[in-house]
C-alpha cells in the first residue's frame, strides 16, 4: 500500500495522550527544584552537542544523569511527537503475537511512540525487543511506558544490552532503527557503499518472512545521503522501499551537494503546551520538524505513476511556484500558479506526465504542471 499522506495531524485522542506525557514524566522521574531550574540550560547544552559539537559527545552520553534528564524531558517528547506524526501516516500495523525489534532504543522511544500514536495496538500481545548499549535509559523508558499503560502493558518487553548487528534469537516483523544511523561513524565517510551493503544484509537477516524495516533519521543532508546509499544496497537484496519512495529506480535525491536530498518538513500543530513552554524556556524554537526515513519490505511493488511531494514550495520566474518531488521520472519539479500551493511535503498523488516534458534548467528535474490547491 502506498501511503497517501505521510504526516497527517495527530488525532485528538493522541494529542490528549501526548499532553498527559508531561505529568507522567513528573511522576516517574521527579525533579528537585534545583535540578528543574537547571533543566533549560542542560537542554541547550545537549542540543549544541547533538547538532554542532557532536565530536564532543560521549559514546554513552545518556549515562550522565544531567544529560539523561535533559533528553527525557525535551528530546524524547519531541521525538515522540515527530515519530507519532509519521506512525500515523504510515498506519503501521502489527498483528497479535508480532515481534518488534528496536535497535538503539534509548528510552524506548519507538515503543512509546507506537503506544501513543497507535491506540489499536495497546491491547495486542506483542513481543517488543529493545536493544541499546546503555541500560539505564531503557529502564527509564519502561517505567514511563508502564505509567502511561496504568500498569504492565500486554506487550512482552525484553531489554537487551547490546548494539546494532548483535545476534538475536528473535526475527522481526518490524525492525526499527530510529536516530541510530547518525551515531555510526561510517555515515560521515565519503564512500558509503561497502558499509551500506553490510547494513542492508544485517537488516535482511533480522527480518521474519514478510517483515518490514523502518529507519528514521533527522532531516539532514548527511542522513539523507546515508539512507539513499542504504536504499540502493537494499534494492540489490530484494528489500524494496514501501515509503517514501514512489518507485524502485535509482534515487534522484542522493544527498550530494548541491542537489536536494530526501527529507520532509512538517509543522508542530498539536504539540503539547507544556513542551512548547519548556522549549521557550530553553531559548530554542520548534516551528517545524524535519526527518528522513525509509520503510522497506521484501519484494514490494509500487503502483505506477505515483509522485511524492518532498520539499516545501518556492518561487519560480514568470508567476509560478515550484516544489521538488520524486517519481519514476527521477527528480521532479511540480509547477503551479502563484497564489496556489503544491502538495504538503509527504503527500502522494497519481499523475500523468506530458509526452515530452520540459526540464528545469537549474536542477535538470522533469517539470510536472500541477493545478495546485488553494491556500
pLDDT tens readout for residues 276-302: 999 999 999 888 999 999 999 999 999
Whether 106 and 217 share a structural domain:
yes
Instruction: Report residue 35's pLDDT band, with 50, 70 and 90 as the boundaries.
Output: confident
For residue 309, pLDDT beyond 50: yes
Residue 7 lies in a domain: no
Residue 144 lies in a domain: yes
Higher pLDDT, 44 or 294: 294
For residue 128, pLDDT beyond 60: yes
Whether 189 and 222 share a structural domain:
yes
- pLDDT for residue 61: 61
Nearest of 57, 146, 166, 154 to residue 103 by alpha carbon: 166
Residue 354 lies in a domain: yes
Whether 230 and 347 share a structural domain:
no
Whether 46 and 73 share a structural domain:
yes
Cα distance between residue 223 and residue 246, in whole Å:
19
Name the domain count of the chain. Answer: 2
Whether 179 and 257 share a structural domain:
yes
Of 44-58, 103-117, 239-253, 281-295, the poorest mean pLDDT is in 44-58
Cα distance between residue 102 and residue 174, in whole Å:
8
Residues 303 and 2 sit within 8 Å (Cβ to Cβ): yes
Q: Which three cell numbers stand for residue 229?
A: 546509499
Mean pLDDT computed over 91-99:
93
Mean pLDDT computed over 16-33:
93
For residue 64, pLDDT beyond 80: no
For residue 344, pLDDT beyond 50: yes
Whether 346 and 219 share a structural domain:
no
Residue 6 lies in a domain: no
Domain carrying residue 123: 12-298
Instruction: Report residue 375's pLDDT band, with 50, 70 and 90 as the boundaries.
Output: very low
Residue 3 lies in a domain: no
- pLDDT for residue 52: 66
Q: Which three cell numbers stand for residue 279?
A: 522549549
Instruction: Report residue 240's pLDDT band, with 50, 70 and 90 as the boundaries.
Output: very high
Instruction: Report residue 182's pLDDT band, with 50, 70 and 90 as the boundaries.
Output: confident
Residue 2 lies in a domain: no
**Residue finishing a domain among 270, 298, 326:** 298
**For residue 272, how many C-alpha atoms fall within 13 Å in the half-sphere facing its CB?**
25
Q: Is 211 helix (H, G, I), strand (E, B) or coil?
A: strand
Whether 133 and 220 share a structural domain:
yes
Whether 271 and 316 share a structural domain:
no
For 281-360, where are the E strands, in sequence order? Answer: 288-298, 306-309, 314-316, 320-327, 330-337, 340-341, 348-350
Residue 206 lies in a domain: yes
Residues 83 and 293 sit within 8 Å (Cβ to Cβ): no
Instruction: Count CB-CB contacts under 10 A for residue 337.
Output: 12
For residue 90, pLDDT beyond 60: yes
Whether 145 and 248 share a structural domain:
yes
For residue 348, pLDDT beyond 50: yes
Whether 311 and 282 share a structural domain:
no
**Residue finishing a domain among 273, 298, 323:** 298
Q: Which CATH number goes with the domain that contains 28?
A: 3.40.50.150
**Residue finishing a domain among 244, 278, 298:** 298
Nearest of 79, 42, 71, 66 to residue 281 by alpha carbon: 42
Whether 46 and 123 share a structural domain:
yes
Whether 153 and 28 share a structural domain:
yes
Amino acid at each position: 500500500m502506498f501511503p497517501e499522506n505521510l504526516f497527517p495531524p495527530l488525532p485528538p485522542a493522541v494529542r490528549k495522550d501526548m499532553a498527559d506525557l508531561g505529568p507522567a514524566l513528573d511522576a516517574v522521574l521527579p525533579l528537585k527544584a534545583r535540578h528543574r531550574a537547571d533543566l533549560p540550560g542542560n537542554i541547550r547544552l545537549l542540543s549544541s552537542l547533538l547538532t554542532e559539537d557532536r565530536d564532543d559527545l560521549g559514546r554513552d552520553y545518556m549515562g550522565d544523569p544531567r544529560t539523561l534528564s535533559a533528553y527525557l524531558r525535551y528530546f524524547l517528547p519531541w521525538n515522540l511527537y515527530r515519530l507519532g506524526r509519521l506512525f500515523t501516516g504510515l498506519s503501521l500495523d502489527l498483528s497479535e503475537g508480532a515481534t518488534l525489534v528496536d535497535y538503539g532504543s534509548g528510552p524506548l522511544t519507538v515503543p512509546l511512540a507506537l503506544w501513543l500514536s497507535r491506540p489499536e495496538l495497546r491491547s495486542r500481545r506483542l513481543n517488543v525487543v529493545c536493544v541499546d548499549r546503555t541500560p539505564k535509559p531503557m529502564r527509564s523508558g519502561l517505567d514511563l511506558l508502564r505509567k502511561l499503560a496504568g500498569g504492565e502493558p500486554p506487550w512482552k518487553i525484553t531489554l537487551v544490552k547490546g548494539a546494532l548487528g548483535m545476534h538475536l534469537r528473535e526475527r522481526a516483523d518490524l525492525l526499527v532503527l530510529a536516530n541510530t544511523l547518525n551515531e555510526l561513524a561510517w555515515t560521515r565517510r565519503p564512500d558509503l557503499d561497502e558499509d551500506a551493503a553490510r547494513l542492508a544484509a544485517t537488516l535482511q537477516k533480522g527480518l521474519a518472512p514478510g517483515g518490514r524495516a523502518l529507519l528514521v533519521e533527522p532531516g539532514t543532508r548527511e542522513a539523507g545521503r546515508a539512507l539513499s546509499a542504504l536504499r540502493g544496497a537494499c534494492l540489490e537484496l530484494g528489500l524494496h522501499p514501501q515509503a517514501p519512495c514512489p518507485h524502485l529506480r535509482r534515487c534522484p535525491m542522493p544527498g550530494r551537494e548541491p542537489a536536494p536530498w530526501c527529507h520532509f518538513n512538517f509543522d508542530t500543530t498539536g504539540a503539547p503546551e507544556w513542551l512548547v513552554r519548556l522549549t521557550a524556556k530553553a531559548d530554542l524554537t520548534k516551528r517545524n520538524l524535519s526527518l528522513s526515513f525509509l520503510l522497506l519490505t521484501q519484494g514490494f511493488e509500487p503502483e505506477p505513476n505515483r509522485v511524492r511531494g518532498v520539499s516545501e514550495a518556492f518561487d519560480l520566474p514568470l508567476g509560478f511556484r515550484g516544489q521538488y518531488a520524486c517519481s519514476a521520472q527521477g527528480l521532479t519539479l511540480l509547477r503551479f500558479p502563484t497564489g496556489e500551493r503544491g502538495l504538503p511535503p509527504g503527500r502522494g498523488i497519481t499523475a500523468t506526465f506530458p509526452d515530452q516534458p520540459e526540464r528545469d534548467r537549474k536542477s535538470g528535474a522533469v517539470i510536472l504542471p500541477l493545478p495546485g490547491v488553494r491556500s
